[in-house]
């Protein structure tokens, strides 16, 4: 029921993702009278779907605390998450209110043992392909231990998403020298250098311009800065697209050039299409929850479902749990880390 | 002597800026034997310049503390700053080591009364024109009072740079609602809402994507996040330029389109040219110091000198002092702010 448009987008997205992954079946939570008329237009999806009628829906502008009070146990959002907890579904996908989704997911699924705070990981298009950036806004003010957790969870997600054995992980900082930056980041760097983790290669500090370059597979950053960096990049991309549009329409010659180079502009548009990398992954919870952009269309929603599918098929949760266990077994003996 | 290239760039830049501002005269600090042969190629500049021989130069990779120890009183960087303090020059411009420049500027010029920490303000190209962003990396971890100071100083700089009477100021945050974000930002928002400042219009919270839009004249952000946002934007611009280059050279048709639309691409290149907005302004010191990008060329260096020229001519220091005085007079009576 969430997102700026509503069930059309979620149902259209499910239909598209089903074409790519015919083994998915869907539990659709929301108002039956809103869902069923739309679902009737997608007979193949209807065959693989079950509609669960929920009268209460979480509003896009509701405060998380209010959404929890009003929507716990009864709202479509809560029940979709609860289905993951109960093992009825493998992942929940929503384009709804991000704060409410995180609050409900934390409250219902709980964080994994040894994880204090979940993170939201985004997929960032780079010159090398794609990288994972976390946290892009689940919480603000992470300490060194939490940044370390982000590195471990991001590394596990990179293994699941990119199917590589030993992803590289960088800590985003204001310089690459060891003495630079805030205490939490320096301390997290120390923990990561000392940690002995088979599945992860710590690459040291990276800077803001490394994001576009894709210098590492996983960029670790505290949520306040991560969220602002993500939105700054989105804003810059829109700004340049706008410059380009206005420059190309200036004279008949530039317009003719545009027509001839249409294929190139289409390619650029595809590269910059935010729908292609839609899907923020909640990491650190006992279950998979994916947040789709609220303003996306069916194609974007389908991408978010694809991410959920990959995370389930490639065993995201088991990979995270494995890496956390390995780290804690090696670095925290009952005698404390020194004796390990 | 600073920057990645050395005196060629500074001297070439001075010559270009002198063409635009024939009333500037220059004090050139550095090794005489390195400067004079280059200066000989610019007779008009030579006429308006005095070379001050300094044997010691600060290295680009030197730690600020080391640069201070080794270069205090004797290095070209120190002496250029000291000339501002002594009233021999109106502003110092350097493409050298940023950390060393800030440390020397603080040590030599000292911060203005009521300013705890200086900031570096950058000029950000936007869809509306240009905005000021600060702090882009002078210090990390600003508290509410310091963010307020950044707003006051950024507002004064906007009045000097854009020649507008009442610039708009926004606080960069992870959402626009009052409840969002870190405590320091929320508290700074409260201080700014309550402050009664004639020369400044507080526009509330803004987000990362507002930077490219130029929603406000002045964006206030703590230095760690500001630095990462700036570099993320630079990285994104380079990434898109790279996509575009590779897309345009794919087929003969796109290449022909490129040739026809060359004018448009030149326009885009101009828009994105980092040399056009070169010049980080140190704010909050008893004197004007401008940091040019270390990797820039003569044209970029000339832009940094132009910024220095504008700051001097439009009375940056007096404007900052006026706004600080006004704020403190109205908001801090001897009985505390409540009684003011």
- pLDDT band of B333, cuts 50, 70, 90: low
**Nearest by Cα to B34 from B7, B60, B74:** B7
Please tell me the distance from the alpha carbon of residue B189 to that of residue B60, in angstroms, as a whole number: 37
Is B20 near chain A, with CB under 8 Å?
A: no
Q: How far is it, in rounded angstroms, from Cα A201 to Cα A194?
A: 11
Q: What is the distance in angstroms between the Cα of A225 and the nearest Cα belonging to chain B?
A: 5
Q: Which candidate from A174, A225, A235 shows the least CB-CB separation from B209?
A: A235
Residue A29 has pLDDT above 90, yes or no: yes
* pLDDT over threshold 50, residue B233: yes
Nearest-neighbour CA in chain B from A133: distance (Å): 12
Give the pLDDT of residue A314: 94
pLDDT at B4: 86
Any chain B CB within 8 A of the CB of A267? yes
Q: What is the gyration radius of the CA atoms in chain B, in angstroms?
A: 21
B166 close to B201: Cβ distance less than 8 angstroms: yes
Domains with residue ranges and CATH for chain B: 117-282 (3.40.718.10)
Does the structure show a pLDDT above 90 at A8? yes
B247-279 in b/e burial notation, b at 16+ Cβ within 10 A?
Answer: bbeeeeebeebbebbeebbebbeebbeebebbb
Average pLDDT over residues B276-285: 90
Nearest CA distance, B12 vs chain A (angstrom): 28
Beta bridge partner(s), residue B123: B132
Beta bridge partners of B202: B169
Residue B143 has a pLDDT of 94
pLDDT computed for residue B273 by the predictor: 79
pLDDT for A96-125, tens place per residue?
A: 999 999 999 999 999 999 898 999 999 999
- pLDDT tier, B248 (very low <50, low <70, confident <90, very high otherwise): confident
Give the residue on B whose Cα is nearest the Cα of A262. Answer: B254
> Would you call A250 and B268 a contact, using CB atoms and an 8 Å cutoff?
no
pLDDT of residue A96: 94
**B3-7, B94-98, B244-248: which is most confident:** B94-98
What are the structure tokens assigned to B305, written together?
């000198």
Reported ipTM: 0.89
For chain B, the average pLDDT equals: 92
User: Which pLDDT does position A18 carry in this prediction?
Assistant: 98
Q: What is the mean pLDDT of residues A139-167?
A: 94
For chain A, list the strands marked E by DSSP.
26-30, 49-53, 91-94, 119-126, 129-134, 168-172, 201-206, 218-220, 280-283, 288-291
**In whole angstroms, what is the distance from residue A292 CA to residue A101 CA?**
11
A294 touching chain B per CB within 8 A: no
Q: Give the mean model confidence (pLDDT) for residues B289-305.
A: 94
pLDDT bracket for residue B329 (50, 70, 90): confident
- DSSP SS3 for B30: strand
Chain A contact present for B87, CB below 8 A: no
* Distance between CA atoms of residues B237 and A133, nearest Å: 18
Q: What pLDDT score was predicted for residue A336?
A: 47
- Taking every pair of Cα atoms in chain B, the longest distance, rounded to a whole number of angstroms, is 76
Q: What is the pLDDT of residues B22-39, one digit of tens each?
A: 999 999 999 999 999 999
Element (H, E) at A157: helix A144-162
Q: Residue B339: pLDDT above 60?
A: no
Interface test with A, best of B97, B179, B186, B236 (most A CBs within 10 A): B236
Average the pLDDT over B223-233 and give the result: 95
In 3D, which of A25, A32, A26 has the Cα closest to residue A7?
A: A32
Residue B132 and residue B122 in contact, taking contact as beta carbons nearer than 8 Å: yes
Cα distance between residue A108 and residue A96, in whole Å: 17
Chain B: give the shortest CA distance to residue A107, in Å.
20
CB contact at 8 A, B214 and B207? no
Secondary structure (3-state) at A322: helix
Strands A129-134 and A119-126: antiparallel
What pLDDT score was predicted for residue A258? 87
Structure tokens at B294: 């270390």
Asked if residue B338 has pLDDT above 70, the reply is no
Phi, psi of A204 (to 5 degrees): 90, -160
Tell me which residue in A231, A258, A271 faces B209 most closely, judged by beta carbons. Answer: A231
Residue recorded with tokens 């999806």: A45
Higher pLDDT, B315 or A269: B315
Q: For residue A333, is pLDDT > 60?
A: no
Q: What is the mean predicted confidence (pLDDT) over A213-242?
A: 94
User: Please, which residues bridge with residue A51 across strands?
Assistant: A28
Residue A334 has pLDDT above 60, yes or no: no
Q: Is the pLDDT of residue A340 over 70?
A: no
Q: Rounded mean pLDDT of B165-194?
A: 91
- pLDDT tens sequence across A33-85: 999 999 999 999 999 999 999 999 999 989 999 999 999 999 999 999 999 99
What is the C-alpha separation between A241 and A247, in angstroms, rounded?
10
Residues of A in contact with B261 (CB under 8 A): 247-248, 253-254, 256-258, 261
């Amino acid at each position: 029921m969430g997102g700026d448009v509503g069930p059309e987008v979620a149902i259209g997205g499910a239909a598209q993702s089903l074409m790519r992954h015919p083994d998915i079946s869907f539990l659709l939570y929301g108002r039956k009278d809103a869902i069923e008329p739309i679902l009737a237009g997608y007979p193949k999806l209807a065959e693989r779907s079950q509609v669960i009628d929920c009268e209460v829906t979480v509003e896009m502008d509701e405060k998380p605390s209010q959404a929890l009070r009003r929507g716990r146990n009864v709202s479509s959002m809560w029940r979709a998450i609860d289905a993951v907890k109960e093992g009825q579904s493998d992942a929940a996908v929503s384009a709804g209110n991000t704060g409410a989704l995180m609050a409900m997911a934390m409250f219902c699924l709980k964080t994994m043992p040894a994880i204090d705070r979940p993170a939201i990981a985004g997929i960032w298009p780079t010159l090398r392909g794609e990288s994972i950036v976390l946290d892009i806004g689940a919480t603000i003010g992470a300490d060194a231990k939490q940044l370390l957790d982000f590195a471990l969870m991001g590394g596990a997600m990179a293994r699941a998403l990119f199917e590589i054995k030993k992803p590289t992980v960088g800590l985003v900082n204001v310089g690459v020298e060891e003495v630079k930056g805030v205490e939490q980041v320096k301390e997290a760097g120390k923990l990561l250098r000392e940690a002995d983790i088979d599945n992860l290669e710590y690459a040291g500090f990276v800077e803001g311009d490394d994001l576009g370059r894709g210098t590492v597979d996983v960029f670790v950053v505290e949520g306040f800065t991560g969220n602002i960096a993500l939105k700054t990049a989105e804003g810059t991309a829109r700004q340049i697209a706008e410059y380009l549009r206005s420059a190309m329409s200036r004279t008949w010659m530039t317009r003719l050039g545009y027509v001839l180079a249409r294929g190139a502009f289409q390619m650029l548009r595809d590269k910059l299409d935010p729908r292609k990398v839609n899907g923020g992954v909640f990491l650190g919870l006992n279950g998979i929850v994916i947040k789709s952009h609220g303003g996306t269309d069916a194609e974007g929603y389908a991408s978010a479902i694809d991410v959920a599918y990959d995370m389930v098929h490639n065993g995201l949760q088991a990979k995270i749990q494995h890496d956390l266990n390995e780290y804690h077994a090696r670095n925290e003996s009952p005698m404390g880390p020194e004796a390990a």
